[in-house]
Structure 1
Amino acid sequence: MATAEPGPSSTGAPRKPTCVVTFGRSTLLGRHLAAALAASGRWSAVAVLDPSPSSSPPPPPAPPASQLVYHLAVDLSDPAAIVSALTGAAAVFHVDPTSAASSDGSFLSLHRVAVEGTRRLLAVCRVLRVGRVVYTGSADVVAAGARDVVNSDEDSTPYPDKFGNAVSELRAQVEMMVLAADGVDGMRTCVLRPSNLFGPRDSTLVRFVAGYARSSFGKFVIGSGRNMSDFTYVENVAHANICAEQALSSNAASVAGKTFFVTNDEPIETWEFMNCIMEAMGCQRPRINLPAKMLLFAALFSNMIHHRLGFQMLSTPLLHPDTIYFLSCTRTFNTSKARRLLGYYPIVSLEDGIMRTVGSFSELPDNFGLSRQQGSCGSSKADRLLGSGTAADILLWRDEKRTFSYVTVLFLLFYWFLLSDRTFISSAAKILLVISFALFIHGVLPPQVFGFTVEKVTSDYFEVSHSALRNSLMCLASAWNGGIRKLRVLAEGDDWSILLKVLAFLYSIKLMLNFQFRVLVGLVLASLFIVFIVYEQCEEEIDSFFTMASVKIKWLADRVVGNLPASLKAYIS
């Protein structure tokens, strides 16, 4: 039985028709669409059909419009409740059921809400002679696989032979049901396909970006980073719904039974959009490129294992083929059909939409698992350990060209001094001879050579500043004083932890001395450019492992000490 919040009272027949919005509380689009319909002045009442309360407050409409919107707690599995809710409605705006927050995520639940619920809704619309139905799905139903979709229109982009996930397949089924219902019992229908819907209090696309930022892939760009995508601000999609309903009312022959791509009509690099959201969360821009084909192979393998074990992958985890395609492929759509037949034009620019979305982050609790102060998007421990300066930028691969240059120079020096058959003094003399000769040639060159400016090397390049020298000496003195303090504590014989640390340090030195010096230096150089970046990407996992290991070691030490005689136990404690 449908339960309703107090709706608008009327004395007599309303002068304006009423409309219905499905999932107008539990979806981003539904909340904004209900507010836009109420503010349009076209409807005497806007009924919001949603079985669950909203996870976030609706956008505030104008005070007169807010009185037009009322909520009906209607489940689409109850035909009688749907009949009661739709009685007298002239139009139904059906929002993508798979994006409803009330779904528990299982395939059966999504199928029941999306396919079976839409079937019941359309059947009731036919019985009650509802004139117009506008369904808003997603452009993802026709964008699947590794192929690029570049400025594609509705006629040249059919459904794929195989859908990447169950959600896209369910959306396609709902689309086909809505289009097939057009013209039956006088009902006219059409379908809108927004691309990458986003907006304030978004819990889908923005949540995905937040999940990517805090994941182990957060520092990496998948693919070249130059692929383009269309992103659509939620108010533009709400405006497109209003345009579609009006077109069905005035020009049904040209609009009914058709699909329309809806975007901001401002294609942007996918990673530029991601970076804008990440930076608003306090995260650093990813700079290291990973080959998409390598990750796609891993994703396909993971997907195959998932299906072999009998699990259905409904969502899009980070290591999923559809996620790799979205992050590395171009997906742009042509909106000329919607402009021509619906009269749709974006009312909010992409830049303004991003700014509004970013501005809403301060209104949210930490829904995305990101702490804006000390969370995973702030300065990492590896960055702080390296001083958050030039060394951190080089060893954490934030500037690939610069890091590669240093790796190349260090490898050449390593080869020159340690891998060649010359002695160290001979290698140093030869490299100084080469440097001296190169500097002399550089000094005699004219300021212009074949149109290129030759920058002269001044004496400042070879001078060490007093502050740098003083800091180096202070660091050396601090290290010496720290060592002396450790020796003093060790000589007092009261701190067993210091003794164990010294023994472990000396034993590691002994193990390292077993290697040849050139092998040891090579391992150190290689580890410098590997260990820190690995620690930064897997910081939480490594910290949790060492925390668990320290707890186990402490438990084992306490157990060993507990079994010692009382005299030894008193001496140790």
Structure 2
Amino acid sequence: MADDDRFTGLNPKICVVLGGSRFVGRSLVLRLLTKGNWIIRIADSPPSIQLDHSHHSLLARALSSGRVSYFPVHLLDKRQITQVIEGSSVVFYMDHAADMKANDFYSCYMFTVQGTKNVINACRECRVKRLIYNSSADVVFDGLHDIHYGDESLSRPWRIENKLSDLKAQAEAMILGINDIDGLSTCALRSSNVFGPGDSELVPFILELGRSGWAKFIIGSGDNLSDFTYSENVAHAHICAEEALSIQAVSVAGKAFFITNNEPMKFGKFISLILEGLGYQRPFIKLPVKMVQYVLLLVMWAHDNMGSRYFSYPFFVHFFHLASHTRTFNCAAAKEDIGYVPVVSLEEGITSTIEAFSHLERDSYYSRDYGSVEQSKAEKLLGGGKVADILLWRDETTSFTYFLVLVMLFHWFFLSGRAFTSSAARLLLLHTVILYGYGSLPLNLFGLPIQRMSLSSFEISEKVVKDSVATMVYLWNIVFQNIKILAQGNDWSVFFKVVISILFLRLILSKFLASSIGIALVFGFTAFFVYEQYESGIDGTVGVLLNSLKESMTFFTTNLPDSMSPLQHDSGSGHEG
């Protein structure tokens, strides 16, 4: 009862948080509640607000007491927006990213641009005093040029690589342009690389890269700096902006401000801290930017033509630009004009984020998902055993060791300039000397114990021998069946396949044996891994090619010369008889 009296005595203000049920919007709602002098209306597209364990009882108590109320609202319905904001003094316009399909430009345009027009018109109609837009630093980034401590004097580029950022820039321009019309004061906050508990883009994407194995790569040198912003600091900045607008600060109304943690960090280091904090391997292989760019173009083509179940490529492209460019911003104007100073340090923010995503740790993910998911086609093709684990890079250290040994053997036999027999003899001699020398060592050498190699290491189990023989018999039976079909002379497709295969094998063995083995070695350690990542897209491409080949073979066999046609009819008659 005392709390209610204290709350009533504060003469609370009514605000609307559009998009308040998700990520940054929810951080803002929780921070407004801690301020104690707000009645909050959350407006968003889901039919009801979901409370999870990370959002303590503060929001639940506020909902039950009436300090917070929830309204399902569609941004394209101006009437719904008007009903919610009627009687409020300020509207915090957060993002509605979950409503938009990144590949559907029309949907993005309608939600971002037309939705913003509806919000502006509703605010003017309801005589709202203040409208604060949650913009993004991406609106001044063209995806091509670095930004070094950019400030508000930066103009928006004429072309923005990311379409969503381009649309957001249009929305920001409309909101700032309506300032001081019908008594409405506006401003926009441009936060950079927002992360934190509840993040639905940056951190989940990083973890997806970690699970798929792509996070081991660093794009470029990895030394490019970026500004990151913890979600609670973004929420704090909105409250600072509202307080500055409420005293009618001329230096704030109609302007945009950059919001960051004021702690630039190497983009690769941020990725590493998130991955290592959740048990994934940090990036360690550097890739040239140009090479990644070409691969990215191929991924975009595959996504557009066949679809992909792994990545939403618009954000993948945006992530590539973030990871390969320097983007730092100057927050001096935000500090001076709206009084913004980060309330959570970058280190604290990263720690809190890792704790919030602890359910997605590597061990828990693999025990919950990886172990129970059906084998991928790549794993089935490789038999699902140790070979599959090596070629699919389940353990990077083991796979790299095998790859290195095979490369050394390839060099020994094919690139050393010696005959194959001579290379084999030298290798056996080297192994003999090494084994004899190892066996001659004392049990203790300079105080270090020498562990003897077990005799079982040189034995081949009966099961392995039986499996090898069974495999050889199986392969021979397949060859025998094809020979039998050829001897009957009634299957032209098999004949052409065998002839082409033999000619191809003859060409390789006579001229390109070493090159073919080298290519096969690299192919084996890359192709299956890539196939597992883009299985659906590659299957679609192969399906199209096989259908085209099948149609070509059908056309060829149906248009054989008449002299060959009786062979088919005769063999068919013989079977009937």
Give the match for residue 467 of structure 1: 452
**AA paired with 2:25?**
G
Distance 2:449 2:476 in 1: 35
Is residue 2:296 matched to residue 1:277?
no
User: How much has 1:290 moved relative to structure 2?
Assistant: 2.3
Counterpart CA distance in 2 for 1:482 and 1:298 is 41
> 1:230, 1:267 within 8 Å by CA — same for their partners in 2?
yes
Question: Is residue 41 of structure 2 the alignment partner of residue 47 of structure 1?
Answer: yes
Q: CA deviation at 1:262?
A: 0.9
Give distance in 1, aligned partners of 2:453 and 2:535: 34
* Aligned match of 1:114: 112
- Aligned partners of 1:61 and 1:483: how far apart in 2? 64
Verify the 8 A CA contact 1:153 1:261 in the aligned structure 2. Answer: yes
Aligned to 2:370: 374
CA distance in 2, matches of 1:317, 1:278: 21
2:62 aligned with 1:62, yes or no?
no
| 1:118 shift after superposition | 1.9
Residue type of the alignment partner of 1:81: Q
The one-letter code matched in structure 2 to 1:57 is: L
Give the corresponding residue for 1:260.
257
Cα drift, residue 92 of structure 1: 1.0
2:170 corresponds to which residue?
173
Deviations 1:49-71 (A, max 9, x none): 12324675362363765531111
Decide whether the 8 Å contact of 1:21 with 1:95 is kept in 2. yes
Q: Which runs of 5+ in 1 are unaligned?
A: 1-7, 436-458, 491-496, 550-573
Q: Distance in 2 between matches of 1:178 and 1:245?
A: 15
Q: 1:187 to 1:369 in 2, by over 3 A?
A: farther
The residue type paired with residue 152 of structure 1 is G
Match of 1:450 in 2: none
Q: Which residue matches 1:325?
A: 321
State the one-letter code of the partner of 1:500: Y
Q: 1:42 to 1:384 in 2, by over 3 A?
A: farther
Quickly say closer, same or farther: Cα 1:216–1:391, change in 2 above 3 A: closer
Q: What secondary structure, in the 3-state scheme, does the structure 1 residue paired with 2:89 have?
A: strand
Q: Deviations over 1:147-187 (max 9, x none)?
A: 111221121x2111112132112101110111111111222
Structure 2 equivalent of residue 22 of structure 1: 18
**Aligned match of 2:184:** 187
Cα deviation for residue 116 of structure 1 reads 2.0
Letter in 2 for 1:352: E
Cα 1:72–1:502 shift into 2, 3 Å: same
Task: Give the conservation status (yes or no) of the 8 Å contact 1:395–1:529.
Answer: no
TM-score calculated relative to the size of structure 1: 0.69
Q: Cα offset for 1:352?
A: 2.2
Match of 2:465 among 463, 483, 497: 483
Change (3 A) 1:125 1:144: same
Q: Determine the structure 1 residue equivalent to 2:229.
A: 232
Q: Do the aligned partners of 1:47 and 1:72 also contact (CA within 8 Å) in 2?
A: yes
Code of the residue aligned with 1:470 in structure 2: it is L
Cα distance in structure 1, aligned partners of 2:315 and 2:7:
58
What's the offset of the Cα at 1:357?
2.1
For 1:408 and 1:397, how far apart are their aligned partners in 2? 10
Distance 1:542 1:87 in 2: 51
| Alpha-carbon distance between aligned partners in 1 of 2:423 and 2:75, rounded to the nearest angstrom | 84
C-alpha distance in 1 between matches for 2:386 and 2:56: 46
Partner Cα distance (1:425, 1:252) in 2? 83
The within-5 A match list for 1:537-548 is 537-539=530-532
How much does 1:521 deviate? 7.1
Could you tell me which residue of structure 1 aligns to residue 130 of structure 2? 132
| TM-score, normalization by structure 2 | 0.69
Counterpart in the other structure of 2:218: 221
Residue identity matched to 1:184 = I
Q: CA deviation at 1:395?
A: 6.9
Percent identity, aligned pairs only, is 33
Q: Distance in 2 between matches of 1:466 and 1:83?
A: 80
Contact 2:414 2:514 in 1 (8 A): no
Letter in structure 1 aligned against 2:32: L
Give the superposition deviation at 1:484: 6.0
Structure 1 CA distance for aligned equivalents of residues 526 and 302 of structure 2: 29
Q: Which string of whole-angstrom CA distances, capped at 9 and with x for unpartnered residues, describes residues 349-384 of structure 1?
A: 222222222222355899x997656369x9x97998
Alpha carbons of structure 1 residues 72 and 298: separation in structure 2 relative to 1, 3 Å: same
Quick one: distance in 1 between partners of 2:513 and 2:450? 32
- Give the structure 2 partner of residue 76 of structure 1: 75
For 1:392 and 1:506, how far apart are their aligned partners in 2? 39
Amino acid at match of 2:83: S
The answer for the alignment partner of 1:454 in structure 2 is none
- Residue 336 of structure 1 is matched in structure 2 by 332
| Cα deviations by residue, 1:67-119 (Å, 9 ceiling, x for unpaired) | 3111122333333333332222111111133x2x2345533333332222222
Query: What is the Cα-based RMSD across aligned positions, in Å?
Result: 5.0
* Unaligned runs of at least 5 residues, structure 2: 434-443, 482-501, 544-577
**What is the match of residue 448 of structure 1?**
none
The equivalent of 1:535 in structure 2 is 528
- Counterpart amino acid of residue 37 in structure 1: L
Q: Indicate the residue corresponding to 1:570 in structure 2.
A: none
Distance 1:365 1:242 in 2: 34
C-alpha change, 1:393 and 1:80, in structure 2 (3 Å) is closer
Q: Secondary structure at the match of 1:532?
A: helix
Aligned-partner residue type, residue 474 of structure 2: L
Distance change (3 Å), C-alpha of 1:460 and 1:130:
same
Cα distance in structure 2, aligned partners of 1:205 and 1:52? 22
Tell me, what secondary structure is at the counterpart of 1:254?
A: coil
Partners of 1:408 and 1:526 in 2: how far apart? 11
Deviations 1:200-254 (A, max 9, x none): 1221112322343355744433222222222211111111111111111235111
- Give matches, 1:440-455, under 5 Å: none
CA contact (8 A) 1:535 1:542 kept: no
In structure 2, relative to structure 1, the CA distance for the partners of 1:133 and 1:227 (3 Å cut) is same
Does 60-69 or 513-522 show the bigger shift? 513-522
